[in-house]
């Protein structure tokens, strides 16, 4: 198969939602349809001990939430589907924002009872800024929820999206009978907890067809006819070109936990979702059809397999063909590297690959060479844009509670910080370590992973800080004077860069006024 055919086979997308909307369950069912797994796991169930494929970290299994992006690939209808399942919790939004730079489209999952929630709004805003094509899946139709039209209004108003429903529910909750697919002109009958069978699907091109009443009853049939008449007159007809520009969002209804409405979503996704798209760099636009290889690192994960202490860099391939055991240029470090064991993913399961193509996400075993945002090329200097930098909002001192495990603690902190979910600062005056994160839950995750993956234990102590600012100055004498005067407020980050720790907005303002020649930067990429 030619390289262009390989590119056209690929569809890479992310699944985003507020926590508990059913995002990880939907991922499981998509994998089930793709034949990638034999049995779907339960995200929260005391009876079923099997955990979901995408929630592979131990803390995810215990809490029933996703705390790290996981990557899964499968084949469906001769297409290579790459799914990135992202954390929904706001404390892990940083990981999700970065992941959105590596996908070509997204599916947004919305709970029919709760409607559009705050985290969904924030994530969709990031997608809209990039004009990412969006499909909406309204989930949990087997439960009582909001009226379909009210939900569509809410999606348009709160998310700022223009929608067009491609399926529509017949009843809801106790009266839920199934969905009518406007995309395929099919009626799909619902059977709770049963596998959706072919005999439950009926071709109905004309809603006056007596078969409709025969299958759902007179009242439900009449309600559906009225709803569809309203939909057709109020909402625009689906247009793929408008969808690909990010200006029109198809909406599907279903129940992921019951495996219902998922096949219709997947079939439409395969038909309409974009193939790998061009990526912008500071130097130029990079197109997938180009012959020369390029890609960027959007995520780093330590200890995907705790037994082997492996550290994996997730690389999105943007152009050309990536080949195993071939030298590629690491732009930031200005050196060539080759990779003996590049891997494809099924969450925590990995398999070595010989080649990969634009749209693919591959894992590179890494001993500390990569940082988030790094570029790999065949020699060209490229810096990919749009990978957000992390600015801590919460700070705590970290204390070693087991002096015998100091080495393990330091190693664990170094590796976990490389993942980009938190930053470590070492104070200049007393050497105490401070962790800065975007959300409080990150502290629990770091503490848990240090204990379970590195055998190190720590606790936290509050520290009253407002902001961490990186500092620079062209005049070495001025800089030295600043360091001498403000030593108690200074720390070094893991790269040895000098950081000013401001206790309040007022103290930061005073420092800027008292040291006009020193520049204060709010991201580390200055």
CATH code for position 310: 3.40.50.300
Q: Under a CB-based contact definition with an 8 Å cutoff, are residues 92 and 65 in contact?
A: no
Q: Under a CB-based contact definition with an 8 Å cutoff, are residues 100 and 127 in contact?
A: yes
Residue 415 and residue 452 in one domain: yes
Residue 263 and residue 354 in one domain: no
Q: Under a CB-based contact definition with an 8 Å cutoff, are residues 40 and 28 in contact?
A: yes
| CA-closest candidate to residue 30, choices 88, 100, 97, 79 | 79
Residue finishing a domain among 349, 377, 405: 377
Residue 62: what pLDDT?
46
Contacts of 192 (CB under 8 A, 6+ apart): 142, 258
Angle ∠(235,239,240) on CA atoms, nearest 5: 140
Q: How many angstroms separate the CA atoms of 166 and 135, rounded?
A: 10
Residue finishing a domain among 252, 272, 292: 272
- Examine residue 223 and state whether it is found in any structural domain, yes or no: no
CA dist 376 → 103, 275, 385 (Å): 18, 21, 14
Residue 239 and residue 104 in one domain: yes
Residue 283 and residue 159 in one domain: no
Q: Under a CB-based contact definition with an 8 Å cutoff, are residues 427 and 395 in contact?
A: no
Q: Under a CB-based contact definition with an 8 Å cutoff, are residues 458 and 401 in contact?
A: yes
Q: How many angstroms separate the CA atoms of 105 and 15, rounded?
A: 9
Residue 350 and residue 495 in one domain: no
Q: Under a CB-based contact definition with an 8 Å cutoff, are residues 512 and 505 in contact?
A: no
Contacts of 52 (CB under 8 A, 6+ apart): 24, 25, 27, 28, 40, 41, 42, 43
Residue 285 and residue 265 in one domain: no
- Examine residue 138 and state whether it is found in any structural domain, yes or no: yes
Q: Into how many domains does the chain fold?
A: 3
Q: How many angstroms separate the CA atoms of 514 and 508, rounded?
A: 10
- Examine residue 45 and state whether it is found in any structural domain, yes or no: yes
Residue 405 and residue 422 in one domain: yes
Residue 526: what pLDDT?
55
Structural domain for 338, as ranges: 279-377
- Given its phi and psi angles, is residue 38 left (phi above 0), alpha (psi -120 to 50 degrees) or beta? alpha
| CA-closest candidate to residue 135, choices 223, 264, 319 | 264
Residue 463 and residue 422 in one domain: yes
Residue 440: what pLDDT?
77
Residue 59: what pLDDT?
43
- Alpha helix stretches (DSSP H) within 281-333: none
Q: How many angstroms separate the CA atoms of 325 and 124, rounded?
A: 39
Q: Which CATH number goes with the domain that contains 485? A: 3.30.70.3280
Torsion angle defined by CA atoms of residues 487, 491, 497 and 499, in that order, rounded to the nearest 10 degrees: -80
Take residue 271 and report the two structure tokens written for it: 């038909």
φ and ψ at residue 27, rounded to 5 degrees: -60, -45
Residue finishing a domain among 346, 377, 408: 377
- Examine residue 498 and state whether it is found in any structural domain, yes or no: yes
Q: How many angstroms separate the CA atoms of 466 and 473, rounded?
A: 22
- Collapsing DSSP to helix, strand or coil, 508 comes out as helix
- Examine residue 382 and state whether it is found in any structural domain, yes or no: no
Residue 484 and residue 427 in one domain: yes
Q: How many angstroms separate the CA atoms of 322 and 374, rounded?
A: 16
- Examine residue 506 and state whether it is found in any structural domain, yes or no: yes
Residue 109 and residue 254 in one domain: yes
Residue 368 and residue 403 in one domain: no
- Examine residue 504 and state whether it is found in any structural domain, yes or no: yes
Give me the tens of pLDDT residue by residue for the chain, a chain 526 residues long. Answer: 788 899 999 999 998 888 788 877 888 888 887 665 544 443 333 333 334 444 444 544 444 433 345 678 888 889 989 888 765 444 445 667 777 888 999 999 999 999 998 878 878 887 887 889 999 999 998 888 899 999 999 999 999 999 999 999 988 778 888 888 999 888 888 876 655 555 578 888 888 888 888 888 888 889 999 999 999 999 999 999 999 999 999 999 998 888 888 888 999 999 999 999 999 999 999 999 999 999 999 888 776 555 555 678 889 999 999 999 999 999 999 999 999 988 886 544 567 889 999 999 898 988 778 888 899 999 999 998 876 665 677 899 999 999 899 999 988 888 788 777 788 999 998 889 999 887 777 788 888 888 988 899 999 999 999 988 889 999 999 999 999 999 999 999 888 889 999 999 899 999 999 999 999 987 665 5
| CA-closest candidate to residue 21, choices 85, 117, 101 | 117
pTM across the whole model: 0.76
Burial 146-156 (b: 16+ CB within 10 A, else e): bebeebbeebe
φ and ψ at residue 478, rounded to 5 degrees: -60, -40
CA atoms within a 13 Å half-sphere pointing along the CA-CB vector of 498? 18
| CA-closest candidate to residue 195, choices 38, 376, 356, 338 | 38
Residue 45: what pLDDT?
34
Q: Under a CB-based contact definition with an 8 Å cutoff, are residues 23 and 88 in contact?
A: yes
CA dist 209 → 70, 199, 231 (Å): 45, 18, 19
What's the residue count for the chain? 526
Instruction: Give the gyration radius of the chain's Cα atoms.
Output: 25
CA dist 186 → 85, 192, 200 (Å): 29, 19, 10
Burial 187-207 (b: 16+ CB within 10 A, else e): bbbbeeeeebeeebbbebeeb
- Examine residue 140 and state whether it is found in any structural domain, yes or no: yes
Contacts of 163 (CB under 8 A, 6+ apart): 136, 152, 155, 156, 235, 248, 249, 250, 251
φ and ψ at residue 375, rounded to 5 degrees: -110, 145
Q: How many angstroms separate the CA atoms of 311 and 417, rounded?
A: 12
Residue 259 and residue 305 in one domain: no
Residue 94: what pLDDT?
63
């Amino acid at each position: 198969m030619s390289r262009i055919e390989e590119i056209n086979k690929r569809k890479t997308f992310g699944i985003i939602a507020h926590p508990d909307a059913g995002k990880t369950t939907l991922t499981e069912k998509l994998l089930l349809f793709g034949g990638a797994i034999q049995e779907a796991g339960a995200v929260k169930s005391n009876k079923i001990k099997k955990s979901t494929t995408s929630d592979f970290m131990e803390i995810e299994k215990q809490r029933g939430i996703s705390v790290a992006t996981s990557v899964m690939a499968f084949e469906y209808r001769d297409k290579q589907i790459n799914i990135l399942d992202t954390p929904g919790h706001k404390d892990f939004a940083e990981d999700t924002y970065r992941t959105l730079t590596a996908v070509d489209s997204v599916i947004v999952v919305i709970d029919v009872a709760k409607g559009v929630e705050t985290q969904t709004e924030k994530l969709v805003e990031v997608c809209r800024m990039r004009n990412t094509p969006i499909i909406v899946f309204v989930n949990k139709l087997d439960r009582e929820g909001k009226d379909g039209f009210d939900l569509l209004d809410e999606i348009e108003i709160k998310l700022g999206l223009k929608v067009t429903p491609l399926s529509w529910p017949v009843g809801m909750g106790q009266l839920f009978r199934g969905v009518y697919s406007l995309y395929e002109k099919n009626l799909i009958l619902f059977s709770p907890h049963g596998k959706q069978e072919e005999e439950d699907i009926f071709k109905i091109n004309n809603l006056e067809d007596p078969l409709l009443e025969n299958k759902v009853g007179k009242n439900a049939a009449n309600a559906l006819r009225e709803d569809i008449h309203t939909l057709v007159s109020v909402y625009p007809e689906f247009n793929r070109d408008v969808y690909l520009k990010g200006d029109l969002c198809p909406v599907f209804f279903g129940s992921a936990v019951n495996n219902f409405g998922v096949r219709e979503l997947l079939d439409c996704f395969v038909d309409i979702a974009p193939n790998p798209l061009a990526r912008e760099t500071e130097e130029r636009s990079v197109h997938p059809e180009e012959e020369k290889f390029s890609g960027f690192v959007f995520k780093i994960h330590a200890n995907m397999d705790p037994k082997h202490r492996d550290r994996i860099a997730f690389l999105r391939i943007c152009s050309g063909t990536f080949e195993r055991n071939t030298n590629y240029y690491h732009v930031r470090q200005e050196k060539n590297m080759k990779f003996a064991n590049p891997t494809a993913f099924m969450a925590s399961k990995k398999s070595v690959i010989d080649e990969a193509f634009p749209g693919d996400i591959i894992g590179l075993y890494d001993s500390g060479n990569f940082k988030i945002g790094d570029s790999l090329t065949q020699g060209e200097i490229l810096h990919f844009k749009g990978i957000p930098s992390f600015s801590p909002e919460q700070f705590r001192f970290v204390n070693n509670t087991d002096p015998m495990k100091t080495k393990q603690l330091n190693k664990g902190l170094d590796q976990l910080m490389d993942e980009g979910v938190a930053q470590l600062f070492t104070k200049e005056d007393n050497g105490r370590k401070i962790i800065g994160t975007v959300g409080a839950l990150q502290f629990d995750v770091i503490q848990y992973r240090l204990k379970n993956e590195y055998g190190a234990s720590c606790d936290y102590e509050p520290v009253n800080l407002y902001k961490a600012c990186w500092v620079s100055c062209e005049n070495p004498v001025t800089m030295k004077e600043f360091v001498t005067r403000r030593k108690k407020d200074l720390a070094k980050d893991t790269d040895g860069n000098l950081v000013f720790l401001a206790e309040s907005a007022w103290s930061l303002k005073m420092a800027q006024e008292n040291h006009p020649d020193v520049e204060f930067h709010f991201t580390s990429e200055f």
